[in-house]
C-alpha cells in the first residue's frame, strides 16, 4: 500500500514537471555541485526576479518528464547533482545561470531546451549572450526612428526656406533633342 502511494506521488510529480516543461519557452539543466549557500541564495533570488522556476529534482523524475514530452536525448546529461531552470522567455534562465557557470568552477550548464529544440552546453551559452527582448526591441525601434528623424529634419529645412523646394536646373535644349530619328530618316531609301 505504501509503495503504491509512493508510485502515485512520483507519477504526479512527473506529470506536474511535464506540464511546466511543456509550457516553458526555455529550460536549462545544470550541475549545481559545489555552489556555496551564499551563491545559491543569490542565484535563486536572481532567477526569481527573472521569472524563472528553479528546481532541484531527482534525475529519474526529470528524465521521465522529458521523455513524456518526446525528449529522449537527456539520458547522459541527467547524472550527478542536477537542477532544472524553467523560463517563461528564451534567454532569462540561460543568462542568470551563465553568470554562475563562469563564477563557480564546479557549477556548470549541461544542456537545455529552447522553443522545442534540444540545445547542448555551447548552444545554451550562446543563447545567454543574446540581449534581452526589451533591448532588442529598443534597438529595432531606434533603427526605424533614424530615417524618420532625417525626413523630419529635411521637411523642416524646406519650411524654414519659405516653403519652396529648391529648383533643379532644366537640361539644355541641345542635350534634350535626340538626333537618332534624323539619322534614321537619311538612311532609309526612298521608293
Over residues 53-104, the pLDDT tens digits come to: 999 999 999 999 999 999 998 989 999 999 999 998 888 899 999 999 998 8
Sequence ranges of the chain with CATH classification 3.30.70.1730:
2-132
| Whether pLDDT at 159 is above 80 | yes
Q: Tell me, what's the pLDDT at 43? A: 93
Which CATH number is associated with domain 2-132?
3.30.70.1730
How far apart CA 85 and CA 112 sit, in angstroms, is 9
Q: How far apart are CA 97 and CA 44, in angstroms?
A: 10
pTM, whole model, 2 decimals? 0.68
Q: Are 78 and 63 in contact (CB under 8 A)?
A: yes
Which three cell numbers, joined as nine digits, stand for 23? Answer: 509550457
DSSP code of residue 161: T
* 8 Å CB contact between 26 and 112: yes
Which among 99, 77, 66, 74 is positioned nearest to 31, based on CA atoms? 77
**Bridge partners, residue 29, by sequence:** 84, 111
Each residue's pLDDT tens digit, 22-57: 988 899 999 998 888 999 999 999 999 999 999 999
If pLDDT is split at 50, 70 and 90, which confidence band does 191 have?
very low
Neighbours of 87 (CB within 10 A): 25
pLDDT digits over 66-75, tens only?
A: 999 999 989 8
What would the pLDDT profile of 173-187 be if each residue is shown by its tens digit?
555 555 555 545 555
CB 110 within 8 A of CB 29: yes
Amino acid at each position: 500500500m505504501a509503495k503504491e502511494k509512493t508510485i502515485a506521488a512520483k507519477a504526479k510529480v512527473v506529470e506536474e514537471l511535464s506540464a511546466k516543461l511543456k509550457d516553458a519557452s526555455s529550460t536549462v539543466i545544470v550541475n549545481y555541485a559545489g555552489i556555496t549557500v551564499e551563491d545559491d541564495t543569490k542565484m535563486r533570488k536572481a532567477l526569481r526576479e527573472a521569472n524563472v522556476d528553479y528546481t532541484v529534482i531527482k534525475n529519474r523524475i526529470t528524465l521521465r518528464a522529458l521523455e513524456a514530452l518526446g525528449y529522449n536525448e537527456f539520458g547522459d546529461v541527467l547524472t550527478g547533482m542536477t537542477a532544472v531552470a524553467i523560463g517563461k522567455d528564451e534567454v532569462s534562465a540561460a543568462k542568470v545561470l551563465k553568470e554562475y557557470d563562469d563564477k563557480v568552477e564546479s557549477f556548470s550548464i549541461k544542456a537545455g531546451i529552447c522553443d522545442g529544440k534540444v540545445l547542448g552546453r555551447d548552444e545554451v551559452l550562446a543563447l545567454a549572450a543574446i540581449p534581452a527582448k526589451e533591448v532588442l526591441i529598443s534597438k529595432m525601434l531606434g533603427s526605424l526612428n533614424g530615417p524618420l528623424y532625417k525626413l523630419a529634419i529635411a521637411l523642416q529645412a524646406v519650411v524654414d526656406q519659405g516653403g519652396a523646394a529648391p529648383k533643379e536646373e532644366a537640361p539644355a535644349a541641345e542635350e534634350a533633342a535626340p538626333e537618332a530619328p534624323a539619322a534614321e530618316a537619311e538612311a532609309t531609301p526612298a521608293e
